[in-house]
Chain A
Amino acid sequence: MKQPGPACRFFGWLSFCCCLLLFAAPLFGAQYDEEMSTEEYLFVKGIVKSVSVDDQTLTLKQNKGPAISFFLDEDTLLEGFYHLSDLKPRQKIKVWYLPKEPKNKALKILKPLELGC
């Protein structure tokens, strides 16, 4: 029986990895679906106070609490918008984050749909 060539083996492994990622993707996406703080991350919601695209930072004002600042990095998931510059003051947002000094690390930022109601 003829053994598969290196190119064939490479594409075989590539297909296997792609399939694995395809099934795992929803799990990664669902990582921060719970709107609550856990042992692994904290959750907060409020309105955008300010945004700095240059510093990649965001400050959120809680409805009845103080403002909290976050920094974004390449791992921060954005949902409901594409760029930090899309966020404007007074817009509602939800943030999942890791507490850090002086700024917290944003894991996921969600801008909910504006329902117009």
Chain B
Amino acid sequence: MTKILLILTSILLLATVSSADSQDTTFSNDKALQGLKETKAFFDVTVGNPKLLLVRLKLVEKTHSQLVTAGVSPAFIIGVRGKASRFFTKGTGYVLESDLPEKAQIAAQVKKLKALNIGIEQCSIAAGFEDIDLSDFLPEVELVANGYVSMIGYHSKGYGLVPMD
């Protein structure tokens, strides 16, 4: 009897998971992307919680991938400022020991994003406020004088602003 119950529960669970998967594929952004050949976006990343930050960076990758799948060429810039800045540095400094696993994952994600030709810009003013040595940032990160100026500049060039705080 217990075995039958276990099998039934497993079937139900599988059905639920597969239905959730199929739901994901049934949605589209056709209306938004209609007639577009390329898109431009600036992601304003400030979040200081490493778990949340990692999820956000993975979402940027997913968004890029979905646009490519839809036949639209994405031009993305990630602007980093605020407390997020600490997680874009090399080594084990600037964060708590308990956050080091996520910091390593963030560094790996940054490499993946860079490989997709996504620009990653760090505000040097924010770096100063967080007492981060400019030489300590990941090599994939480009330092800019002022993150706000970048945001304004890209926005003026038609980049959609995506806040990620």
Q: Give the size of the chain B interface in residues (CB under 8 angstroms).
A: 21
Q: How far is the CB of A110 from chain B (nearest CB, A)?
A: 14
Scan residues 77-104 of chain B and give those whose CB is less than 8 A from a CB of chain A.
Answer: 81-83, 93-97, 99
CA distance A90 to B123 in the complex (A): 20
The interface of chain B, by Cβ under 8 A from chain A, is 46, 48-49, 81-83, 93-97, 99, 123, 125-126, 129-132, 147-148
Chain A interface size, as a band, is 10 to 19
CA distance A44 to B22 in the complex (A): 54
The total of interchain contacts (Cβ-Cβ below 8 angstroms) comes to 33
The interface of chain A, by Cβ under 8 A from chain B, is 45, 47, 49, 61, 63-64, 89-90, 92, 115-117
Instruction: Please determine whether B94 and A117 come into contact, CB atoms closer than 8 angstroms.
Output: no
Going nearest first, the 7 A-B pairs with the smallest beta carbon separation are A64-B93, A63-B94, A117-B126, A115-B129, A63-B93, A61-B96, A49-B96
Instruction: Please determine whether B94 and A90 come into contact, CB atoms closer than 8 angstroms.
Output: no
Q: Which residues of A contact B95 (CB under 8 A)?
A: 47, 61, 90
Instruction: Please determine whether A92 and B130 come into contact, CB atoms closer than 8 angstroms.
Output: yes
Add 16 more A-B contacts to A47-B96, A61-B96, A64-B94 (CB < 8 A): A49-B96, A61-B95, A63-B93, A63-B94, A63-B132, A90-B48, A90-B49, A90-B95, A92-B131, A116-B46, A117-B81, A117-B82, A117-B123, A117-B125, A117-B147, A117-B148
Q: How far is the CB of B100 from chain A (nearest CB, A)?
A: 11
Question: Provided the pairs A117-B123, A117-B126, A117-B147 are in contact, do residues A89 and B82 lie with their beta carbons within 8 angstroms?
Answer: no
Q: Which residues of B contact A63 (CB under 8 A)?
A: 93-94, 131-132
Which of A49, A90, A117 meets B129, CB within 8 Å?
A: A117
